Structure 1
Amino acid sequence: MTRREASMKKLFKPVAAIAATAAVIVSAPSASATTVHARPVVTHVKTVAKFDFAAGDVAENITINPDRSVTISMVGTAAGKRPELVRIAPSGHRTVLAVGRQGDGITGNTRGSDGTVYYNVWSADASRAGVWKLPPGGSPQRLAALPADGLPNGLAIDPSGQTLYVADSQKSTIWAVPVSGGPATAWLTDPALAIEASAPVPFGANGLRFHNGAVWVSNLSKATLLRIPVTATGAAGRIHTVTSSLTGVDDFSFLSDRSNVVFAAQNGPNQVSVVYPNGTTETVLTAADGLASPTSTAVRGKQLYITNGGLNEPHDPKLQSGTINLGALFAH
């Protein structure tokens, strides 16, 4: 069994195992204690599109497009179902943008200002592992290679559109990839991005966003959300731990371009939490709202989108949306 096959096997075990990371995470300060919001922060939650787990539709990552469609990475399944990159229209209509090979996984995706879609391919094949791009009207092509024994996960582009950042869940590393082409370089390798030694699921650095002059990254095995300033020279600044209270954290998004309020998908606990700038976290959605192994979130205006991988039986992968109640959000 290859390392990737072993990791995929663990990924598709019941996600209750991920929740067990609570026993090994670093104790959080009192300001980071998790509570449940007294007033609904997200209302009118509905299913925008339902997916087919048996066909490989394990929704992993999401990007909102200017026309209000969304681009979703379907990671594929351990049973060998092929991964896909798809666009979902507001009506729920699905368009396949790219199809991976059997045994590969498609993880993070993001969008350039010219409409180019960038996405990660997780593969044991060194000729395929890396960051790929899909230009408007063009065909998929690999932009940069990444280690075949790594796991490229979260992906983001900087505001200048010049650099892509990739969270590697196996290598304790954030990679930087020039949009213009060229080799990937290790922008940051640090223990804060590593897999916790006793964690039941072997995923370290996971979700990644570029926001307000910093790279933000989650670490699933450590339950952390980190902020890493980008210096004037483009190097990584000092790592700041925003919170250590996000058990089973996957990917996340921000309330707006200016706000540091975060909506984080927590796969194992089957919930979405808000993280405030002071590190306080509050649960705003749970399984009672229809969550099914949430993997990522995205925000546009007052609309919150959630991708659900459906890892647990009855395997209900889907795209949900809800309305953010700003009054309740800031009444904590």
Structure 2
Amino acid sequence: MDKSFRLAAAIAATAAVLVSAPAASAGTRGAHDGPVVSHIKTTVAFDYAAGESAENITVNPDGSTTISMVGITAGKPPKLERISPTGHRTVLVTGQAGDTILGNTRGPDGTVYYNVMSSDASRAGIWALAPGGKPHRIAALPTNSLPNGLAIDPAGRTVYAADSNSGTIWAVPSSGGTATAWLTDAALAPVPSAPQPIGANGLRFHNAALWVSNTNHGTLMRVPVTTAGKPGRIHVVSSHVAGIDDFAFLSTRSDVVVAAVNFRNEVVVVYPDGTARTVLTSADGLNNPTATAIRGRCLYITDAGFSAPNAPKLQQGKINISALLSAAHS
């Protein structure tokens, strides 16, 4: 049984426990008039048996999306795909069976960066695909790492990867080089006794800081990046989002976060004061949501389909910004 398939089995087992558990009430917000997200639809349905478990998403300037397919089914290779606004699929990268492609992000020049988890030291690490070019590794990572969320600074100089195994955020020059442990902290580490130990997971560079989620701890954190490029003190924005995966910001100026909560089949809005509100559930078709992305009023959601009914997909909905912001004052 390959490494990625064992990971999927553990996540599915965890999901079965947590989806049936009561949701935490601390730090939540009450309902208000009008849905925060509406017009939910499936843009593309994927094939779980073919290894098409959607893990991460980046929205491109032309409205297309770049999707990581982890290749979670035994013997199936991971992929990186571009999906047009009309749902046309183009395979950008096909990885090696037994490896896993996780986070992806886009540089200012259009280069796509992505993480590869592999037991092969020649493949484990951060990879890049320039427009019109071929995929190549820009930095090696340890074979026992789980490089998950991926982010790039606005200047496009440094790529950061959240390691869900080691409680580390790695940094590497976008042009290539040695990966350095930019920040290692207990706040980023997994819970060893958890059914599936997953620590630092989602990662976004936003307003001069790296924001990172910790799945096991249910936390969303902000780490200022100093002018020298060093990490500042970790600030816990919220500790009320058990099972949080990757996330997106309402806008470049807003600190309101819309997060995928994988194990609970939820999408949750997290406000700057740390409170949270569930806005989508399995009733909206969520099946182990792994990541969100926002472009204007459009919300994109990737579903991995790890647990029954094993329905991985790319979903899309409309954000009611006035309803969302009014909840911030309720």
CA separation of 1:127/1:12 partners in 2, compared to 1, >3 Å: closer, same or farther? farther
Q: Secondary structure at the residue paired with 1:167?
A: strand
Counterpart of 2:192 in structure 1 is 197
Paired with 1:179 and 1:306, the residues of 2 have a C-alpha distance of 27
2:15 alignment partner AA: V
Counterpart of 1:269 in structure 2 is 264
Q: 2:279 matched to 1:259?
A: no
Describe how 1:271-286 pairs up with structure 2 within 5 A.
Answer: 271-286=266-281
Q: 2:111 matched to 1:116?
A: yes
Alignment partner for residue 301 of structure 1, among 277, 284, 296?
296
- Superposed displacement of residue 8, structure 1: 4.4
- Superposed displacement of residue 258, structure 1: 0.6
Mapped contact 1:153–1:167 kept (Cα < 8 A): yes
Q: 2:11 matched to 1:11?
A: yes
CA separation of 1:328/1:219 partners in 2, compared to 1, >3 Å: closer, same or farther? same
- Superposed displacement of residue 36, structure 1: 4.9
CA separation of 1:129/1:12 partners in 2, compared to 1, >3 Å: closer, same or farther? farther
Counterpart of 1:208 in structure 2 is 203
1:17 alignment partner AA: V
Of the structure 1 ranges 2-11 and 273-282, higher mean CA displacement relative to structure 2 is found in: 2-11
CA separation of 1:42/1:137 partners in 2, compared to 1, >3 Å: closer, same or farther? same
CA separation of 1:21/1:116 partners in 2, compared to 1, >3 Å: closer, same or farther? farther
Q: 2:63 matched to 1:68?
A: yes
Paired with 2:191 and 2:20, the residues of 1 have a C-alpha distance of 12
CA separation of 1:289/1:9 partners in 2, compared to 1, >3 Å: closer, same or farther? closer
Alignment partner for residue 51 of structure 2, among 47, 56, 65?
56
CA separation of 1:227/1:21 partners in 2, compared to 1, >3 Å: closer, same or farther? farther
Q: Which runs of 5+ in 1 are unaligned?
A: none
2:322 alignment partner AA: G
Paired with 1:306 and 1:231, the residues of 2 have a C-alpha distance of 31
- Superposed displacement of residue 78, structure 1: 4.1
- Superposed displacement of residue 124, structure 1: 0.8
Paired with 1:19 and 1:238, the residues of 2 have a C-alpha distance of 33
Q: Secondary structure at the residue paired with 1:86?
A: strand
Q: Secondary structure at the residue paired with 1:314?
A: coil
Paired with 2:32 and 2:159, the residues of 1 have a C-alpha distance of 35
Paired with 2:133 and 2:224, the residues of 1 have a C-alpha distance of 34
Paired with 1:248 and 1:89, the residues of 2 have a C-alpha distance of 30
Counterpart of 1:155 in structure 2 is 150
Counterpart of 1:311 in structure 2 is 306
Q: How many residues were matched structurally?
A: 327
Q: Which runs of 5+ in 2 are unaligned?
A: none
Alignment partner for residue 174 of structure 1, among 161, 165, 169?
169
Counterpart of 2:285 in structure 1 is 290
- Superposed displacement of residue 197, structure 1: 3.3
Q: TM-score, normalised by structure 2?
A: 0.94
Of the structure 1 ranges 13-22 and 273-282, higher mean CA displacement relative to structure 2 is found in: 13-22
Q: Secondary structure at the residue paired with 2:300?
A: strand
Extract structure 1 runs of 4+ deviating beyond 2 A: 1-9, 11-14, 16-23, 32-39
